[in-house]
Structure 1
Amino acid sequence: MPAYLLTWNPKNWRWHDLPDVARRLADGLPIEQRWSCGNSRSIAVGSRVFLLRQGVEPKGIVASGWVTKAPFAAPHWDTGRAATGEQAFFIMFAADALLNPAESQPLDVRAHVSGPLAEVQVDAQASGNSIPELVAAALSEAWAAHLGKEDQGLGRGDPELGAMEGEQRRRFVSHRARERALRAAKLEHARANSVDGRIRCEVPGCGFDFESIYGSIAAGFAHVHHLRPLADATAPTITKLEDLAVVCANCHAVIHRGGACRSLEALIPAVRE
């Protein structure tokens, strides 16, 4: 599976809300982050990414995640260059780990003078560099050990985003990370295909919009429902975006009330009638 190294130099760009983002991720909230990918255009959804802090100490890997949106052009991350109309390419990724360097030591691979970790491009001049498979596997294991978790499953993904679900396995961290990436991709797909960029419940007759009620704190938020219950699967299956639906919390609860999995079309009486 493809893996890429993203870079961050605090001398060039200050990540002001990093402490808050790291705290929310630690609390179990889904985090989707935009990041510059340099000249890379072929980063596929579902790829693994690692974020390398450069420029100032402490240096090293501070984050990891799964790509939820392929490279796209947007105003440059440097506000001065953006003011002249210059653009840069970015990806979106669902973070599964993020360290705040003010509180936690990044994974510093500079001490490795031989072996795969010695090949990590700690002085990379651009973001979005491809990581060779053996290097990526070693980095994944070292990162997982640094976090105190199991190997997070690098090298076990799909060319198009899909998550292997319904399987009881030891690599639960990887399993949950892929689920978060799939959920984030579904919400992004719903936002991108709405007429006004808002996410609404897809149950016919509902259309609840969290942001319209709760404001910006709920922007982009909704539940994601499996149209095919995982419990019905006799073997692990690949879940794709078309197997999911965006729903509000109330509809989601009623869909599954009593252990059922009711169809969206028949959920609200007025629609049934």
Structure 2
Amino acid sequence: MPAYLLTWNPKEFSSPDLADLFGIIDRGQVPGRIRWSCGRTRAIPLGSRIFFLRQAVEPKGIVASGWVTRSPFERPHWNEELAAKGKRALYVQFVPDAVLDPASDPPFDVRPHADDILSGLPMNSQSSGVSISHPAASDLEELWSDYMRKHGVRLGAKTGLLQAFEGIPKESLVRHRSRETALRKAKLEHAKTLAPDGRLRCETPGCAFDFEEVYGELGAGFAQVHHRKPRSEAGDGTLTHLDDLAVVCANCHAMVHLGGGSRPLESLIPGNRG
């Protein structure tokens, strides 16, 4: 899926949103949606991968990643002086799945890789919202995943933060495999954009159950999200992507896991079995 780099220069902009985000981490809560400038980029698809790069001030590097839940939209400019003159800017909304607070946790420094596997990463771009080439995005994802794996348990123990970087046992009141709501939100938002009428329907072949059709306003925008590959088979420290998930109704979700394990959606309803 497409990937983009959002940039942050603390010299120019100390974002209240970002401060709130780090405060949320310190309080051990799951981050909500974050709005950030995407420069002049008007086409960032829902479900795109986001990497958040701290620039200009040490420590520099990647401090967060996430998934786009709202494509670029206009709002008053983030610079108060320009906003006062009526200037507007483009923003993208994303849900973070992993965050490092540079005040206490070192960002992932991409500069040592600038001349090799991350040579295609626009790490010196002065504009936010730049596209990352597929090879560079793939390599960055792997490096970031490894970096978060090294820091994940410590972060979990310190903050209780649930990340989409799944499978790492967290040292909290209850040790469990973390389940980040960010991925679920992003998957559902992405599925809405793929439907001509913006409705969520079960993706099990032969079902297509629509909660809104049955329950009206109460069911609007509701569905369950299923991991196509069982978490027990994914191993520790697996980074889950939107394509690894499926929108399903409660009945199909229950039948998929009935008796333990996980059945393929394609073979769930008899008339659709090959």
Taking structure 1 as the reference length, what is the TM-score of the superposition? 0.60
Which residue of structure 1 aligns with residue 103 of structure 2? 102
Identical aligned pairs, as a percentage?
A: 41
On the 8 A contact 2:49/2:66 being kept in 1, the answer is: yes
Which residue of structure 1 aligns with residue 264 of structure 2? 235
Deviation at 1:177, TM superposition (A): 4.7
CA–CA distance in 2 between the matches of 1:205 and 1:138?
A: 44
Which residue of structure 1 aligns with residue 240 of structure 2? none
Which residue of structure 2 aligns with residue 178 of structure 1? 183
User: Secondary structure at 1:127's aligned position in 2?
Assistant: coil
Which residue of structure 2 aligns with residue 53 of structure 1? 54
Deviation at 1:98, TM superposition (A): 1.4
CA–CA distance in 2 between the matches of 1:183 and 1:28?
A: 21
Alignment of 1:116-127 (within 5 A): 116-127=117-128
Give structure 1 stretches of 5+ with no counterpart: 151-168, 188-192, 194-201, 208-222, 238-273
User: Secondary structure at 1:120's aligned position in 2?
Assistant: coil
Which residue of structure 2 aligns with residue 24 of structure 1? 24
Which sits farther off after the overlay, 108-117 or 86-95? 108-117
* 1:11 maps to 2:34: no
Which residue of structure 1 aligns with residue 84 of structure 2? 83
CA–CA distance in 2 between the matches of 1:32 and 1:24?
A: 12
**Are residues 100 and 65 of structure 1, via their aligned partners in 2, closer, same or farther at CA, if it must alter by over 3 Å?**
same
CA–CA distance in 1 between the matches of 2:216 and 2:3?
A: 42
CA shift digits 1:92-124 (9 cap, x unpaired): 001101111111100111112432223322210
CA–CA distance in 2 between the matches of 1:121 and 1:174?
A: 31
On the 8 A contact 2:17/2:34 being kept in 1, the answer is: no
**Are residues 228 and 61 of structure 1, via their aligned partners in 2, closer, same or farther at CA, if it must alter by over 3 Å?**
same
Partner amino acid for 2:254? A
CA–CA distance in 1 between the matches of 2:18 and 2:115?
A: 32
Which residue of structure 1 aligns with residue 146 of structure 2? 145
On the 8 A contact 1:25/1:31 being kept in 2, the answer is: no
CA–CA distance in 2 between the matches of 1:112 and 1:3?
A: 18
**Are residues 170 and 63 of structure 1, via their aligned partners in 2, closer, same or farther at CA, if it must alter by over 3 Å?**
closer
Give structure 2 stretches of 5+ with no counterpart: 152-165, 169-176, 193-197, 199-211, 225-247, 257-262, 267-274
Deviation at 1:42, TM superposition (A): 1.2
CA–CA distance in 1 between the matches of 2:11 and 2:105?
A: 19
**Are residues 137 and 149 of structure 1, via their aligned partners in 2, closer, same or farther at CA, if it must alter by over 3 Å?**
farther
Which sits farther off after the overlay, 117-126 or 134-143? 117-126
Runs of 4+ in 1 over 4 A off after TM superposition: 169-177, 183-187, 202-207
Aligned pair count? 195
User: Secondary structure at 2:118's aligned position in 1?
Assistant: helix
Deviation at 1:180, TM superposition (A): 3.7
Which residue of structure 2 aligns with residue 38 of structure 1? 39
Which residue of structure 1 aligns with residue 171 of structure 2? none
